[in-house]
Amino acid sequence: MQLHFYKYQGTGNDFVMIDNRTDFFPKNNIQLIAQLCDRRFGIGGDGLILLENDATSDFKMVYYNSDGNQSTMCGNGGRCLVAFAKKLNVINTKAVFNAVDGLHHASVNENEIVSLQMINVSEINKNADYTFLNTGSPHHVQLVSDLENYNVKDKGAAIRYGSLYGKEGSNINFVKQIDENTFALRTYERGVEDETLACGTGATAVAIAMNANGVTNASSININVEGGKLAVSFTKEDDQFTNVFLTGPATFVFEGTIAI
């Protein structure tokens, strides 16, 4: 069987995209999904995303990590899926889609800049040297010195597999403040089990965590990831963060077919 696919990237977070509106894709084939995401023996990607029909919205997002397992929300993946939906003429410039964490509103402009509404956040676990919160996926946020030379893979894995988060683990974000409303971010992603060039739910978690901890008072925050620049904005009322938007580029890379 020949599988037609598309490749997208959002600030270096790259995804295999498949139009599954006819429900043909073998969704339970973990080995196949992992192989498609393999950078040596497949197409290559941090994850694979299916665009499917949905009864109550423009489309449905089904997201798999590169290990082949279905996973929690992916912010950059969601943004790329909006751009993909526009390419397929499923939407024009605005979208409402269903994901594992509920409905998301989004918009895309002519320059492939996608703004995606993320879930509201109210539960924030603050600790002396880290913060934990869920922005559609679980995130550990930690300020570090010398971020440029930090061993993200080893130190991230040690926390991800350590006693803090149990069997499910967490994504691990290491952060450095640049100025009042700008932070640099490097992320170890569970499911990829390595550092990725960007993480959308991670960028969202960092922005909210830095504000919640009083590191910044800004409600519009720039996040410099290894693969580019993202922006996160929100409304804060007491300890509730609403109207959370993740904004950045979502770029079509190529399309093709592969035998499966």
Confidence class for position 230, pLDDT limits 50, 70, 90: very high
Name the pLDDT band for 257 (thresholds 50, 70, 90): very high
pLDDT band at 175 (very low <50, low <70, confident <90, very high): very high
| pLDDT value, residue 204 | 98
Residue 80 is among the residues annotated as catalytic for this protein: no
Q: The whole model's pTM is what?
A: 0.96
Binding site for substrate: which residues? 13, 65, 75-76, 171, 189-190, 200-201
pLDDT tens for each residue of 179-203 = 999 999 999 999 999 999 999 999 9
Q: What is the pLDDT of residue 161?
A: 96
Which residues are annotated as part of the binding site? 13, 65, 75-76, 171, 189-190, 200-201
pLDDT for the residue numbered 125: 98
199, 203, 207, 232: the active-site residue: 199
Predicted confidence (pLDDT) per residue in 81-107, tens digit: 999 999 999 999 999 999 999 999 999
Q: How confident is the model at residue 65 (pLDDT cuts 50, 70, 90)?
A: very high
Whether residue 37 lies in the annotated active site: no
The residue annotated as part of the active site, out of 36, 74, 119, 172, is 74
177 — pLDDT class (breaks 50, 70, 90): very high
CA distance 248 to 15: 15
> What confidence score (pLDDT) does residue 218 get?
98
Which pLDDT score is estimated for 138?
97
